[in-house]
Amino acid sequence: MIALTLPGVGTVVRLATVVVGVVATIPTRTGDLRTHPAPAPSYQAAVALAHSEQAIDDSVAVPMGRSILLTHGHRTARAVVLLHGFTDSPRQFADLADSLYAEGDNVYVPRLPHHAERGGDVSRLARITAEGLRDFADASTNIAAGLGDSITVVGLSAGGTIAAWIGQNRREVQRVVLIAPAFQVTHVPSFFERALVNIGSRGPNVTHRSAGEPEQPDLDPGITTKGIAQVFRLGIAVRRSASDLPSATRELTILFNAHDGTVKSAPMIDLARDWAHNGGLVSVYEFPDSLHLPHNVMEAAHRGGNALAVYPTLNALASGGAPPAWAAQRLVVR
């Protein structure tokens, strides 16, 4: 009989530490996240593309998770794209979409990849890739190009990261508004960023499920490490590009939440400075801590939201105007 000797706990821990260290030092690949634009040549073409996306939604998503398209039957002076957050759905922006539509805009709220799908949970979001988010960003911008003479893109959290990529890469867009873009998480030192992204991207996925609500089947409460790592990877690509190259979009606004306990503001400020240094017209605003807003500033009042403060602010910024006084101007760089 051959005796087998199992390694001790200390040996296993040391080996795991070495493996994690090696994975963490591998450079994060972002060079393949460049744009491949194909803007819709007309209003009719844009609507056809949007309806095609909605047909895909109808085949895989819950009814409340469908992409939203609000049009006036013709090309308008401005088209607005609203990009929802991680684990959420287009319904997150339904009220704001209605408001912008009532003001005369054509509005498109696309469903992020793998979100709000039937018969699953947050673990599906582990299938997200930075390349898929890039393709989604390109496709959404392509549609908007046919809906309006100018394009504004507004994104929240992961949607804000995607909006940042659009701002850096798509010259068809006149204005982007990033709301608490997901670049880094709070309570984690910034020098761990690359390690976390590499481990999250290359290591086994870890899913934490949170309790859902029956009346909101379009939400996927919880977290998945692979999906979040890919959002951060897209953000790294944006920030690397912005440090050297001018943004394709001219007007760039970042709105962060001083009460946010989910994402850091420092990389947002760094991005704003890089964009401005390379010629962009950049403004940074913040919701004050006194509002006690959650990371998802679009939340309902019973979850800590404040529509009376949030909606006028987003309407003003989407229009290129000055927000109400409660959205303090943190930084203006020209």
pLDDT in tens, 2-26: 333 334 434 433 433 444 454 455 5
Write the CB contacts of 89 (distance below 8 Å, at least 6 apart in sequence). 61, 64, 65, 111, 115, 116, 218, 219
pLDDT, tens only, 155-211: 999 999 999 999 999 999 999 999 999 999 887 777 677 777 888 888 888 888 877
Write the CB contacts of 182 (distance below 8 Å, at least 6 apart in sequence). 86, 157, 158, 160, 161, 228, 231, 232, 235, 262, 263
- At 51, list the tokens: 């309806």
Facing residues of 154 across strands? 82, 177
Q: Which CATH superfamily is domain 65-207+218-333 in?
A: Alpha/Beta hydrolase fold, catalytic domain (3.40.50.1820)
Question: Which residue type, as a one-letter code, is found at position 230?
Answer: Q
Q: 249: closest CA among 332, 154, 328?
A: 154
Question: Which residue type, as a one-letter code, is found at position 48?
Answer: A
Q: Can you list the positions of beta strands (E) in 137-203?
A: 148-156, 175-179
Q: Which helix (H) or strand (E) holds 109?
A: strand 106-109
Question: Would you tell me the crossing angle of helices 158-169 and 225-244 to the nearest 10 degrees?
Answer: 30
Instruction: Please tell me whether the overall predicted TM-score, pTM, comes out greater than 0.75 for this model.
Output: yes
DSSP labels for 37-87? ----SSHHHHHHHHHHHHHHHHHHB-GGGS-EEE--SS-EEEEEEEE--TT
pLDDT, tens only, 271-312: 999 999 999 999 999 999 999 999 999 999 988 999 999 999
Residue 326: how many other CB atoms lie within 10 Å: 17
Q: Quote the distance between the C-alpha of residue 202 and its chain's center.
A: 21
Question: Which residue type, as a one-letter code, is found at position 258?
Answer: A
